[in-house]
A and B are shown apart, each in its own frame.
Chain A
């Protein structure tokens, strides 16, 4: 907003995207994408969305599809809320956010059922549970309601990517150590099993997802010291 009163020339905008006269991938905008990958990761730093991180990380494939679905939902709902941010009545804003997220999730679910039936069966109720993923509502409330469309879109994609990255890392180790496979293909050769190696069945159960996330946080904080809380 301009402080001075007077005539300000009308700016041309493309779909409301570049009206903050900033390059599309300025340093600030790139940070919206990269921050959630490490410094501000929704799972390991903000500790949001843990429930689904435990539930669908037994195998890589559903973890990837879940990440992409969350990305689609977050990108789309952040854009919609940001477009409507000056129209949404303040008193029902949480309801509006919920409706938008729920609608997006149902759309994703319907599309998966039509075009990726096996995956939709595998994810079953977890697709519906994207609605309750704290990251989605959290970003709408904290970012999209107060920022422009393009920034909100980047923020949605960035946070979903940060979420998905952790999901994929955890799923990689759980599938590898739990069932000796990756993407459903056996990667640990038979002769290792013949030598007495056994898959760790505990890796397939939810507690080990939590422990894997914990180990990730440990490694992350030992590399990135500014994340360590000071008492």
Chain B
């Protein structure tokens, strides 16, 4: 046997070790990929459904999603619908890097007991990494029905609290447009003197202590993402106005 302290042996050992470990991990990752992707897909459906008040487990998510989500649209920057793109698989982080005319934004239209909802995916930055979520608007395209948020690596107990129900519930019934029809979004505020969020016309929700930057990230992503949908909202409002 080779001398265990020689350089040649050390290099040989390291090389074999790296090869064995790398191929084992690569094999595991690729064989579990489908199962993992399926979990992520169902979780996305679960999140979309929860913004319109339908709580479900991951197993049921697909069935209920098909039942309530009536339409999935890929919108361009002019508010037109691009049928050549599957909106469900659009990834916002890729879309945002494209030139404005090539960006496509997903819009989920839902109908629960004859009430329409517009569900918009969000994506932005928190303190450490990406944050994302979904926000559902009622048929008036102004009042929030519900919101969910998630994050990659916000601080547990502080920024990570945006995933909690009590924080998300604060967005319900807040309005994203002011009375003149200008988009104002929802401000995650540290100074709104309304800790119970009883005032639903102030476009503000109470922030989480110790999570200022994550909260600002939530404010920004709601404003920025909704901004892209204004052309579509205009069309949609006009269409409704014509019908009436």
Contact = CB atoms under 8 A, between A and B. Distances in A.
Given A89-B9, A91-B5, A92-B10, A115 B17 contact: no
A51 interface: no
Contacts of B239: none
Contacts of A113: 32, 36, 39
B156 interface: yes
B242 interface: no
A202 interface: no
A110 B28 contact: yes
B14 A92 contact: yes
A contact residues, range: 20 to 34
B10 A111 contact: no
By secondary structure, the B interface counts as helix
Interface string A81-103: 00000011111100110011001
A111 B4 contact: no
B243 interface: no
Contacts, number: 56
A188 interface: no
Nearest to A107: B28
Contact of A114 (B13, B17, B36): B36
A99 B32 contact: no
Given A110-B28, A125-B153, A103 B21 contact: yes
Nearest to A100: B21
Contacts of A89: 4-5, 9-10, 13
A206 B155 CA distance: 13
B10 A110 contact: no
B13 A110 contact: no
Contact of B13 (A55, A87, A106, A206): A87
B180 interface: no
Interface of A: 55, 87-92, 95-96, 99-100, 103, 106-107, 110-111, 113-115, 117-118, 124-125, 204-206
21 contacts: A89-B9, A89-B10, A89-B13, A90-B5, A91-B5, A91-B10, A92-B14, A96-B13, A100-B21, A106-B25, A107-B25, A107-B28, A110-B25, A113-B36, A114-B35, A117-B36, A117-B39, A118-B58, A124-B153, A125-B153, A204-B157
